[in-house]
A and B are shown apart, each in its own frame.
Chain A
Amino acid sequence: MSGPEPEREWVIRFLDDLRAAEAASAEVLAAWIAVCALDGLRGGLRVIAEREAAHAELLAERLGEMGVAPSAALAEPVRAAALERFGSERVSDEQKLATLLARYPDDTSATRPITDVLDRLHHDPETREILRLVAEGEAATVAWLRAYHAGLVRPASRV
């Protein structure tokens, strides 16, 4: 078990990286919502985008309480490519869903990076519970998108 100071260092780095990823995700989802052709998918994406933004906001707040200004950012080419693909009207919603879900082959792949940290976070219970609920949110996001995608690609005769 590490002492509070070394833990603080890696926790700060993890929180900042996660915050940057969540903020970028909210931005990309907003671009998708703007061109999304499916009412049901759009409704779900709206909540998921706000969920990601809430995570980013609270993680930034927590970093501030730890005396750290958030500074991590997604690499600009990665961000620009994601915005272009998910904000494109030429790429179908089904293709976008498939692209996104390919990153999460199983139910735990979206949450594992966070749950791994929970087991090592011994000195900051407030941050630990924030992260526990972030992980729950990520799991809910992947589960909803997977269910929606399955409904979209299922042949009508099998419905």
Chain B
Amino acid sequence: MLRPLPGSERARVIWLLDAFQAAERAGVEAVGRWIVACADARLRGGLRMIRARDRRHAALAEARLRSLGGVPGARPSRELAALCGVVADPGVSDRSKLELLLGRLPAREDAPLDELVRRAEGDAETRALLETIVDDERATVRWLRGMRDALEREGA
């Protein structure tokens, strides 16, 4: 669940973009370390695309928040930092990482993503930016789920 947002509409959007770019950057770093340790070529291929997209999502969010007069300064939450630590850990199996990531999604997986878009309601450009980024995030979740199922079937 996202935390409550501060003050004015513009301040809220800037806060949202800042939190989002920090989370994406943390994810990019963790996935980068996972890729280095990953021995499964299929998983590595998909993770590389996910990292490439997330890196650009972070840059887009930062550019938008700067155009609104903000300065990036957010840091990932303690919970996210811990999750990234596990994802980056070469000692944890690929299957465990997939289970951990997918296990964090609530029963209705779209809920937090929809909330992210809804919070930019009054700013059409930011809203569309987040809406299309969320399309990528949904594709990521679908692909991760497919990989988890494949690894489970293979008993990897």
Q: Is A152 in contact with chain B by the CB < 8 A criterion?
A: no
A55 surroundings in chain B (CB, below 8 A): 49
Interface stretch of the complex, out of B52-60, B77-85, B106-114: B52-60
Within the complex, the shortest CB–CB distance from A62 to chain B, in Å, comes to 8
Q: Is B133 in contact with chain A by the CB < 8 A criterion?
A: yes
For the complex, give the distance between the alpha carbons of A129 and B44 in Å.
8
Within the complex, the shortest CB–CB distance from A143 to chain B, in Å, comes to 8
**30 interchain pairs, CB-CB under 8 A:** A39-B124, A40-B127, A42-B128, A43-B124, A43-B125, A43-B126, A43-B130, A43-B131, A44-B128, A46-B129, A47-B60, A47-B132, A48-B132, A50-B57, A50-B60, A54-B53, A125-B41, A126-B48, A127-B45, A128-B45, A129-B45, A129-B49, A130-B48, A130-B49, A133-B46, A133-B139, A134-B49, A136-B142, A140-B135, A140-B138
For the complex, give the distance between the alpha carbons of A46 and B53 in Å.
13
Within the complex, the shortest CB–CB distance from B113 to chain A, in Å, comes to 13
Q: Which of B48, B55, B125, B133 has the most C-beta atoms of chain A within 10 angstroms of its own C-beta?
A: B125
Per CB-CB distance, the 9 closest pairs between chain A and chain B, nearest first, are A43-B128, A129-B45, A47-B132, A126-B45, A43-B129, A43-B125, A39-B124, A140-B135, A50-B56
Q: Is B153 in contact with chain A by the CB < 8 A criterion?
A: no
Pick the contact of A47 from B41, B44, B133 — CB < 8 Å?
A: B133
CB pair B128 A137 closer than 8 Å = no
Q: Is A146 in contact with chain B by the CB < 8 A criterion?
A: no
**Could you tell me the dominant secondary structure of chain A's interface residues?**
helix
Q: Is B43 in contact with chain A by the CB < 8 A criterion?
A: yes
Q: A40-B125, A46-B129 are in contact. List 17 more A-B contacts (CB 8 A).
A: A40-B127, A41-B128, A43-B131, A47-B129, A50-B57, A51-B132, A55-B49, A58-B49, A124-B41, A125-B41, A127-B45, A130-B46, A132-B143, A133-B46, A133-B50, A137-B139, A140-B136
For the complex, give the distance between the alpha carbons of A132 and B140 in Å.
11
Q: Mark B15-40, 1 if CB is under 8 A from A, else 0.
A: 00000000000000000000000000
B3 surroundings in chain A (CB, below 8 A): none
Pick the contact of A130 from B45, B126, B127, B139 — CB < 8 Å?
A: B45
Q: Is B42 in contact with chain A by the CB < 8 A criterion?
A: yes
CB pair A132 B59 closer than 8 Å = no
Q: Which of B48-105 contact A (CB under 8 A)?
A: 48-50, 52-53, 55-57, 59-60, 64
Q: Is A57 in contact with chain B by the CB < 8 A criterion?
A: yes
Residue of A nearest to B59 (CB): A50
CB pair A140 B129 closer than 8 Å = no
Pick the contact of A51 from B42, B125, B130, B136 — CB < 8 Å?
A: B136
Pick the contact of A133 from B49, B130, B135 — CB < 8 Å?
A: B49
B130 surroundings in chain A (CB, below 8 A): 43
B48 surroundings in chain A (CB, below 8 A): 58, 61, 126, 130
B138 surroundings in chain A (CB, below 8 A): 140
CB pair A54 B132 closer than 8 Å = no
